[in-house]
Structure 1
Amino acid sequence: MSTTVLLAGRRPDPPDSDARRFPIENVLLVRERLRDLFAERQPDHLVCSAACGADLLALDIAGDLDIRRHVVLPFSIATFREMSVTDRPGHWGPLFDRLVSEVEARADLTILNESPGDDAAYAATNDQLQSVAEALGLDILAVAVWDGEPRGDGDLTRHLIHTSAASGADVVEVPTL
């Protein structure tokens, strides 16, 4: 059976964070958990954004496993890179550059024209991610890579879980802790 993974998740914790959602020292553990999930479920497509952390790990693994990747960004590549990739611990910039280039070369990159700094831009990205996944016409497996605790009403990972489950998709959580 053909499957699309629709993925959302946490970025590594900022250095000054009091909350532990995705400690940078857990990157290899999360990578291993994602690789195991993809090997078990054998999806045909991955649909996600390209922020540091969960998104980039999943995109990198999917490339290794020859899973077709679809990326949605809320605004320009350069602005997204600055605001959602290189602003956290880790050397995410070169990985982002390579992965976005690979996805763009296959014409599987969608860039929305949302306003940077507007929380609505990320909500619009989530909506577009769901639309892309549904348009592929395959069974959807929603994957939440997170600590299991919503950050509040505007938590987009939680939103993805709820909207995907409501539409009948299977939901799997991959712990970051």
Structure 2
Amino acid sequence: MFFASDNWAGAHRSIAERLLAESAGFAPAYGAGDLDKKVEARFSEIFEREVSVFFVATGTAANALSLASVQRPGGITFCHSEAHVIEDECGAPEFFSGSARLVAVDGEAGKIDPARLSARIAHFPEDALRHGRASAVTITQATEIGTVYSLPEIGEIAAISRKRNMPLHMDGA
């Protein structure tokens, strides 16, 4: 097995064949094609709500652009201290967000500890903007050490995020 990066590997034969079939002829760009609409419909079905899909080439681009889209001036995204987004994405989230910060939160087994997350968020009160604005929480599923957040763990972190009107982002391959 090879775990360096998903964008180093070739595509599975069935994926490559489907891409080849879809690439025949012409199709509108920028999300206006039939395939784009089919993908959005399928994701809307999976998530049981209407969603938009924005295709990008790599996980780093997906994470950086997703997190940038929810940032506010002076924004802070909370993540585990060993998370891929803070360790392996070369400053891309900070760059694309216009200098938002990633703030590390510790926890066992590569997972954010909810109590520690609450404490870190408390360091950035809503009325003290000079410290930075708590803007998002991101978790990695599976974590960098191979552990997996359970649904109750995700729910607990999501509840903490909602208390401050912050979206919860999941980095997952």
Q: Which has the higher contact order (CA 8 A, sep 6+)?
A: 1
Give the TM-score, by structure 2 length: 0.43
- Structure with bigger strand share is 1
